[in-house]
A and B are shown apart, each in its own frame.
Chain A
Amino acid sequence: NAGVTQTPKFQVLKTGQSMTLQCAQDMNHNSMYWYRQDPGMGLRLIYYSASEGTTDKGEVPNGYNVSRLNKREFSLRLESAAPSQTSVYFCASSEVGGANQPQHFGDGTRLSIL
């Protein structure tokens, strides 16, 4: 089982460029999430999708947009990348929305913005 798959694994962008980070899960989970992790810090929630067709802001949504393409896929877009968005981005999924369910994570996309 692949679990949560993120692409690409690494990316370098120039300030002002745009990019979409892809995430797909094969566990038939309803809920999906995007986090960022900065050095020495915990994960911070950017956006989440409780179910197919819905998305909501997390702690740090500014500068990002998301699309829940279908039940399996949840993408994160940087429209105009800034150096402050250099980070490791993690996608996660969980089985049901609204209940206490642990989240399953991908291995991250390491993004550097010059």
Chain B
Amino acid sequence: GESVGLHLPTLSVQEGDNSIINCAYSNSASDYFIWYKQESGKGPQFIIDIRSNMDKRQGQRVTVLLNKTVKHLSLQIAATQPGDSAVYFCAENRGNFNKFYFGSGTKLNVKP
């Protein structure tokens, strides 16, 4: 679960466009995944979760897709707004009581 580097990958999108943020996980035993949003100076905020027996889950303006074959998770944000600008983390639970492993994050920059 070690993270990489000091510089977060950045995704820049235009307001109103759809955003797709990707996350690769390493452990095939992972059975629960969460996406978090972290605004500057704040703690992570829960967005949406998905269990390994599902491929897709939708929330309000957000969709999470899980591809277990290639161990890949994505977060889709529809009609991205300036308030969506933040760092987004995926977290995986490897079946061991609430021990989550976090990715290093992607910074979403929404241009007005």
Contact = CB atoms under 8 A, between A and B. Distances in A.
Interface string B1-40: 1010111100000000000000000000001101010000
A73 B89 CA distance: 26
A35 to B, nearest CB: 8
Question: Taking each of B3, B6, B31, B89, which has the highest tally of chain A beta carbons within 10 Å of its own beta carbon?
Answer: B3
Interface of B: 1, 3, 5-8, 31-32, 34, 36, 41-46, 49, 51, 89, 91, 93, 97-105
B99 A105 contact: no
B3 A40 contact: yes
Nearest to A107: B43
The secondary-structure label for the interface of chain A is: loop
A98 B98 contact: yes
Contact of A45 (B42, B99, B105): B99
Question: Taking each of B3, B7, B8, B100, which has the highest tally of chain A beta carbons within 10 Å of its own beta carbon?
Answer: B100
Contact of A40 (B6, B31, B93): B6
Nearest to A43: B102
Interface string A34-63: 000011111111001010000000110000
Contacts of A43: 44, 89, 91, 100, 102
Interface in A38-96: 38-45, 48, 50, 58-59, 90, 92, 94
Nearest to B103: A42
B98 A97 contact: yes
Contact of B98 (A4, A44, A59, A101): A101
Interface of A: 4, 31, 33, 38-45, 48, 50, 58-59, 90, 92, 94, 97-98, 100-108
Contacts of B43: 4, 90, 92, 105-108
Contacts of B45: 105
Nearest to A41: B3
Given A107-B42, A107-B43, A44 B99 contact: no
Contacts of B103: 42
A79 B102 CA distance: 27
